[in-house]
Amino acid sequence: MAKQFGFMQVEGTIGDVTFYKSKDGFRIRTRGGVSRERILNSPAYERTRENISEFGRAAKAGKTLRMAFATPLKMITDGRMVSRLSREMYRVIQSDANSTRGQRNVLDGETELLKGFDFNEGSNLATTLTAPFTAAINRESGKASINIPAFIPATAIKAPVSSTHFRLALGAAEINFEGGAYTAGQAFSGILPIGMAATTPITLEHNLPSDSTHPLFLAFGIQFFQETNGDYYPLKDSSYNALSLVQVDGGA
C-alpha cells in the first residue's frame, strides 16, 4: 500500500492500480500487493507508470477547470463530480495522437470531448431546462454568450416542488492547462418566477481575452429559489440545480 502525494488526490482504477480514499488519506494499491518501489522502478511496470502519470495530469487539469468555474459551481452538489471530471479529462488525454504514452496531455487532446459534461450528475441540464438556447464562443472577440428565446417556465423547467423562482447562470473561462492558470467570469439572469407567464428573451454574456490561444469553455445552468415575504432564498438542497459545459473551443 502506498500513499498519494501532491495533486494525486483521486479515486478510481487504472489497469492493476487502484486509487482510493481511506481514513488516513488518499492511497494507492495494486493487485497482488506490489510495492510502491517496484511500481516506480521496475521495467515490468512501465505501462503502469505511464498510466499513473497521465491520470495525474488529468486530475490536475480537472482541478484547474473546477477552480475556473468556482463561482457557478457553488450552486451545485455532486459528491462524485471530481472523479467524473478526472475521468473525462483522462479521455481527453487519451485522444492525444501526437505525444508518446505517458506524455500525452490535455492541450494536444480533444478538449471538445468535454462538451456536454454535467457538473451535477443528479440533475442534468437537458432534462432540467427544455427551453431552446444558443451557446456561442467568439475566439476573435472573446465574447461568450447564451441566448434564450422567450419561454414559459412552468412548462420548460423541471423544478423541485419547494421552489418558486429560478435564475439562469453563465460561466466562461479561458484555461491555460500547462500553466495551471485561467481567466474566468460569470453572468446571471434576474430571479424569475416559475409560472405560466412567458419570460422575455434572455441574453447572458461575458468577455474573455480576445484572440486567445488557450482552450475556451462556456457553461450554462439553472438555480432554484424559494420566495418568502419578498425575499428569495436558494434552496438548501442544491441537488436540483444544473450546470453543463455547453460549448468548448479547444483552439488550433
Question: Could you tell me if residue 119 is inside a domain?
Answer: no
- Of residues 39 and 107, which shows the higher confidence score? 107
* pLDDT value, residue 203: 98
**Which residues contact residue 230 at a Cβ distance below 8 angstroms, ignoring those fewer than 6 apart?**
none
Question: Could you tell me if residue 62 is inside a domain?
Answer: yes
> In the structure, what pLDDT confidence band is assigned to residue 3 with cuts at 50, 70 and 90?
very low
Question: Could you tell me if residue 175 is inside a domain?
Answer: yes
Cell 450554462, residue located: 220
Same domain, 6 and 98: yes
* pLDDT value, residue 12: 62
Same domain, 134 and 245: yes
End-of-domain residue from the set 111, 144, 175: 111
Q: Based on the structure, what is the number of domains in the chain?
A: 2
Question: Could you tell me if residue 245 is inside a domain?
Answer: yes
* pLDDT value, residue 56: 86
CATH of the domain at 230: 2.60.40
| Strand-pair category, 202-207 with 143-148 | antiparallel
CA nearest 191: which of 130, 252, 235, 132?
A: 235
pLDDT tens string 22-71 = 555 555 565 556 666 766 656 556 567 777 778 888 999 999 999 999 99
Instruction: Judge whether residue 99 has pLDDT over 80.
Output: yes
